[in-house]
Amino acid sequence: MKRIAVYTSGGDAPGMNACIRAAVRGAIYHGLEVYGIRRGYNGMIAGDIFPMNSQSVSNIVQRGGTILKSARSKEFMTPEGRKKAYENLMNLGIEGLVAIGGNGTFTGAEVFYNEYEIPTVGCPGTIDNDLYGTDYTIGFDTAVNTSLEAIDKIRDTADSHDRVFFIEVMGRDSGYIAIQSGIGGGAEIVMVPETHTPLKKVVSTLKDGWSRSKSSSIVVVAEGDEEGHAVDIAEKIKGQVADKLDIRVTTLGHIQRGGTPTAYDRILASRLGLGAVEGLIKGYKNVMAGIVNNELVYTPFIDTIKKPKPIHDDLLRMVHILSM
């Protein structure tokens, strides 16, 4: 293998730039030519592909977002779109790909390989931490710390006004951000998609706290909880506790995706970016580079896409015990 390309796709995540940097410099170290693809699969189809060198990734390790830009491509979902992408890669002699993204990114890479046999090694770049085959994904640690900072500030207001705050964090299918920021922020209740938290239990917990002279509480809600968004849950509960509790809602939204990546995310992203390049050199294809028990491992895309990554029961148990 002499020439590879790197791209980011799907939602941005803090640490993607550190991963790009590691992939580019790792490729150069091993004597490969490396190209960048702007805006993911859209750029692959449009031919927005350019050569990169060591200077291309200078002074980016500390930056959030992605210098290669990102997008979700409907055209790549069509055979015609993938054919254009393949032809553009072949015209430049690109023999392998480093894909930085999440579930949708790896699904696209899997389909692309089945049609055109271009080997791809992925790096898990998503704040949700929802990919099987790695303990943590790029951007997760930063997103948790961003959420935690907001929760700490909201708790000050909750305490000052004797209020209950429902705080919604990202996590359409995964409650990892909710559970870790909830534990770190001392939340009384955490609601996640992986387990059902009945509204009557939420009401009971809040009323119990009130009976013990607890004047304020924090409820962290993952956006994908089966009871609905935080606004919906708060509305359902207001009627049952309005005589005793003043309820407010805050949705943190996209601030969780941005910002300077933590040291952990920079190091994780660097390990995975280099690991992806070295995986291609070793002949790996259709796999994701991940870190499990502090060891670099490669997991087939089909497993990262289809296998669940449950939250450990001990974390859910911890919320209940520590909220007393």
Q: Which residues are annotated as a binding site?
A: 11, 21-25, 72-73, 102-105, 126-128, 155, 163, 170-172, 186-188, 212, 214-216, 223, 248, 254-257
In sequence order, what are the beta bridge partners of 297? 290
Q: Which amino acid is at 195?
A: T
Q: Which amino acid is at 207?
A: K
Cα-only R_g, the chain: 22
Percentages (nearest 5) of helix, strand, coil residues in the chain: 45, 20, 35
| Alpha carbon of residue 98 to chain centroid | 17
Q: Show the tokens assigned to 213.
A: 């002279």
Question: Which residues, including other chains, have CB under 8 Å from residue 172's CB and lie 6 or more apart?
Answer: 128, 193, 223, 224
**Which residues define the annotated binding site for ATP?**
11, 72-73, 102-105
Q: Nearest CA to 6 among 67, 63, 60? A: 67
**Which residues define the annotated binding site for ADP?**
21-25, 155, 186-188, 212, 214-216
Out of 12, 128, 141, 265, the active site residue is 128
Alpha carbon distance 230, 221 (integer Å): 6
Instruction: Examine the residue annotation and report whether 246 is marked as an active-site residue of this protein.
Output: no
Q: Show the tokens assigned to 154.
A: 């909201």
Name the maximum alpha-carbon separation found in the chain: 71
**Which residues define the annotated binding site for substrate?**
126-128, 163, 170-172, 223, 248, 254-257
Alpha carbon distance 96, 121 (integer Å): 8
Question: Which helix (H) or strand (E) segment is 110 a member of?
Answer: helix 103-116
Question: Residue written as tokens 């020439």?
Answer: 3
**Which residues define the annotated binding site for Mg(2+)?**
103
Q: Angle of helix 263-281 relative to helix 140-161, nearest 10 degrees?
A: 160
Other CB atoms within 10 A of residue 172 CB: 11
Quick one: 299 exposed, middle or buried, by C-beta within 10 A (0-12, 13-18, 19+)? buried
Q: Nearest CA to 139 among 12, 22, 252, 253? A: 12
Catalytic machinery residues: 128
